[in-house]
Amino acid sequence: MARFADLQGFEHPSFTPLRLRDVDDNDHEFHFRSLLLGDRLSLEAFELAGDDEAAGYRFQILGQADSEPFALLGQLIQKIMRALSMKHLQADAGRLQIADMTVRGRVEWNGDEGASQPCVIIDGRRIEWNDFGAMLLAFEGWPFRLEMLDPSDEA
């Protein structure tokens, strides 16, 4: 891709995994990868969450292909730290509930070939669609806004 984008000497940056703590003092280890997308460089951070490929935090930042990779990494780490400083779910009587008026997360395939419902990842945790719907029942009758964002945008 670097040749097609006319970038001389482009090399994918390599970063060591990074461990960060969330607001509840839990550790999260992030791994990094870079992708050259034409004239853009995508730097991605992802958390390995056991056998479930969908679970765990994921973040992306886009820059120009000739951007300084360490500057992009710094921006990405700031984005991760902002997300880890918030919790959108809380346990109440043994069940997860929406902690406040806003929920941030991402939509994922639930892993079932025949399924017609996704799952959502909130606070790095996999939540089945029906369970998320049950959480929303606390807001029955309330108006809401659902906005889909580019993976590189901040929710």
Nearest-10 Cα torsion for 81, 151, 72, 47: 50
Is the pLDDT at 62 greater than 90, yes or no? yes
Is the pLDDT at 142 greater than 50, yes or no? yes
What pLDDT is attached to residue 19? 97
Is the pLDDT at 1 greater than 50, yes or no? no
What pLDDT is attached to residue 3? 52
CA 20 from chain center: how many Å?
Answer: 14
What pLDDT is attached to residue 9? 67
Is the pLDDT at 112 greater than 50, yes or no? yes
What pLDDT is attached to residue 51? 74
Is the pLDDT at 5 greater than 80, yes or no? no
Percentage, residues of the chain above pLDDT 70: 94
What pLDDT is attached to residue 130? 95
For residues 45 and 31, give the distance between their C-alpha atoms in angstroms, rounded to a whole number.
Answer: 5
Number of Cβ within 10 Å of residue 122's Cβ equals 20
Task: List the chain domain ranges.
Answer: 18-84, 89-139
For residues 1 and 37, give the distance between their C-alpha atoms in angstroms, rounded to a whole number.
Answer: 7
Is the pLDDT at 2 greater than 50, yes or no? no
Is the pLDDT at 129 greater than 80, yes or no? yes
Nearest to 99 by CA among 117, 118, 119, 125: 125
What pLDDT is attached to residue 155? 84
Nearest to 36 by CA among 71, 73, 78, 7: 7
Mean pLDDT of 27-52: 91
